[in-house]
Amino acid sequence: MSTGSQSGGFAGTVLVPLCAVSGGIVLAGFFFPEFIGETVSGEAWLTVALVFFSSGLGYLAVLPYSSDDEGTSPESYLLRVRRRGVREMLRGFLDRQELATLVPAVVLFALFFLLQAAFPDSVSLVVDGVTDAVLGAGGPVFLGAVFVSVCYCLFLLLGPWGGVKLGGPDVEPSYTLPTYFTLVFTAGIAAGVVFWGPAEALFHYQTPPPYVDAAPESNAAIGGALTYALFHWGLSAWSAYAVIGVPIAYFVFNRGAPLRVSTILAPFLGVERLDSPWSRLVDTLAVFAIIGGIATSVALVSEQFLTGTNFQWGVTAGTLGPVLFVGGLTLIYTVSAVSGVHRGIRRISGVTMLLFVLFAALVVAVGPGSFVLERGTRALGNYAVNFVPLSVYLDGQWVADWTVWNWSWWFSWAPFAGLFIAALSRGRRVRTVVFVSVVATSAATMVWFLILGGTSLFVQHTGQADVLAVMSSYDSAESVAGFPLFEALPLGQLLMFLFLALIIMFMATSADTSTLVVSTLAAERGVAPSSASIVFWGVLQGSVAVAALLAGGAGTLQALAVLTGGPFAVLSLVALIGLTVTFYRHEGGHTSVIGHVRKRLPDVQARPELDPSDEE
């Protein structure tokens, strides 16, 4: 019997019944809340919920696939996985690792948690001080890097270099355009989009940004609140991924460079010298940024998830709850990563996207549609008109705490998101890559924030629910914003269930991708990571998240991860300089969008000038 058949048999005989039984208990708990509080303890209910999601998503990951699926074989993409026997995997694990990348990352995280456990207050004080100094003094660098990124993406989208095909003229894409978009979108944005959807606009409504001339919680503050939410999650944010991803993709597919973040240095070091200490430093920093960013996200999401369930149903999971949550989530994303892009990652991303669209549609159906449409249209107009002033506005601590912090966080995620975009982009034109990874993803994100943010503002402003009062009672205020909002809407229980499911699924789709990317960076160059390697890095990310929760250092570790955004903001500018020089030297003869339009216009013969005597 083949491995695929064995996996399918296991999925059908074990995972499906397990998912059905645990799913029935979970649904009973959501729609009959007294069942949770009186019959099942918090830890037990959380365990059953994680079994439900783990078995359901694990079923998708282990199902066999057809070689004709998506019109490609699994060998046609870069992020492959080597599957070997258990003994062979363990025996050859270290032999296949890039120790110069693996050892520093493990040592740095171990050292951090030792110091955090021994001197928690001192470590937090130092890290917070450094973070404030970097975000304050480095504000112009972050704002400049993001604005340049947006302008460069616009030039690639419309200019002649957008016509460059990654991999050559005869190479076909590995995935259809909808699947390509889904993979990019779900990997590049984690559960934060779910929590912050109903919360960010409320924060700006309560305390209007300095750029917005409006009184707190006034009618005039609504427009500015929505505009800033769009600004922080729109074109500027997603461009940080593209300016790392496009250079990597070009040098990998068109110049023969290895699939590494350090490939952005190829124009300066040469492809043959990408094993230099500078390259290894960039890859090591990327591994640290990826693990730090994902692990802190997993830790914070677990706290927020449990805070939300405690608020809504009074479920107290105790000290074991966060560990159970992280353990269940680690199992989900590790199994998905081991199954590869073609199986678990692609399938779970597709289900996540469908759930995302369904949830947004339900909120539109039961929410204040006319209010969202009217205020959302105005906010989009304000966003377009004020985009440049907002991009260069640097005045006061508010900008450092919100805008600069956001840009640093997006750049800290750029190594793994950019490399993943690059790996998927073989056979695509540069223009298509930019359109999907910046324009399409920004559009989906902004629609989400207009729907959720507009609905929460309506409920708050009209007095249907005091969401801000509920948020003020919790340290992680954004984690509970959705619950009083959905309570004020029809189908509230269904919305809450889908909301919590989206949190788990979005976190899984980012973490499985990051696990595969880190495994690729840590493997020997030219060698695909083994299943054992992927399990190691997946468990390491989960262990870092658990350590952050138990040691109380999640916020401090997040601050350290955010600090890695600074080097990658600078490296993005270096990458764009190198790509520009290479394009200028080697990629002439391409046509811009305007040129394509001109070619398709019919020829219009100029009217010959008349002789004055003819007119007479």
The model's pLDDT over 369-421, given as tens digits with 9 standing for 90+, comes to: 999 999 999 999 999 999 999 999 988 889 999 999 999 999 999 998 999 99
**66-80, 408-422, 533-547 — which is least confidently predicted?**
66-80
pTM value is 0.88
Q: Is the pLDDT of residue 613 over 60?
A: no
pLDDT attached to residue 610: 46
- CA 159 from centroid of its chain's CA atoms: 27
**Residue found under tokens 């002649």:** 160
The model's pLDDT over 130-144, given as tens digits with 9 standing for 90+, comes to: 888 888 888 899 999
Domain 3-65+147-585 sits in CATH at 1.20.1740
Q: Using CB atoms within 10 Å of the CB of residue 537, give its burial: 0 to 12 exposed, 13 to 18 middle, 19+ buried.
A: buried
What is the phi/psi pair of residue 254, to 5°?
-110, -15
Per the CB < 8 A criterion, the answer to whether 503 and 305 are in contact is: yes
pLDDT attached to residue 74: 39
Token couple for 444: 């989906």
Three-state DSSP class for residue 605 = coil
Kindly report the length of the chain.
616
Per the CB < 8 A criterion, the answer to whether 468 and 157 are in contact is: no
The model's confidence at residue 73, banded by pLDDT at 50, 70 and 90, is: very low
Interatomic CA distance for residues 195 and 469, integer angstroms:
17
Three-state DSSP class for residue 424 = helix
C-alpha dist (Å) from residue 262 to 67, 176, 181, 433, 599: 32, 28, 25, 20, 39
Taking every pair of Cα atoms in the chain, the longest distance, rounded to a whole number of angstroms, is: 103
Residues 358/362/368/373 CA torsion (nearest 10 deg): 20
Interatomic CA distance for residues 424 and 419, integer angstroms:
9
Interatomic CA distance for residues 205 and 457, integer angstroms:
8
What is the phi/psi pair of residue 165, to 5°?
-100, 130
User: How many Cβ atoms sit within 10 Å of the Cβ of residue 93?
Assistant: 14
State the SS3 of 283-313: HHHHHHHHHHHHHHHHHHHHHHHHHHHHHHH
Q: Is the pLDDT of residue 315 over 80?
A: no
Cα torsion angle, 141, 146, 150, 155, sign: positive
Interatomic CA distance for residues 419 and 275, integer angstroms:
17
pLDDT attached to residue 89: 54
List all residues 6 or more positions away from 243 whose beta carbon is below 8 Å from its beta carbon.
149, 152, 153, 414, 418, 572, 575, 576
Q: Is the pLDDT of residue 604 over 70?
A: no
Break the chain into its structural domains and give their ranges. Answer: 3-65+147-585
The model's pLDDT over 42-53, given as tens digits with 9 standing for 90+, comes to: 667 677 777 887
The model's pLDDT over 428-472, given as tens digits with 9 standing for 90+, comes to: 999 999 999 999 999 999 999 999 999 999 999 999 989 999 888
State the SS3 of 79-127: CCCECCCHHHHHHCCHHHECHHHHHHHHHHHHHHHHHHHHCHHHHHHHH
Closest CA to 548 of 370, 313, 302, 383: 302
Q: Using CB atoms within 10 Å of the CB of residue 398, give its burial: 0 to 12 exposed, 13 to 18 middle, 19+ buried.
A: middle
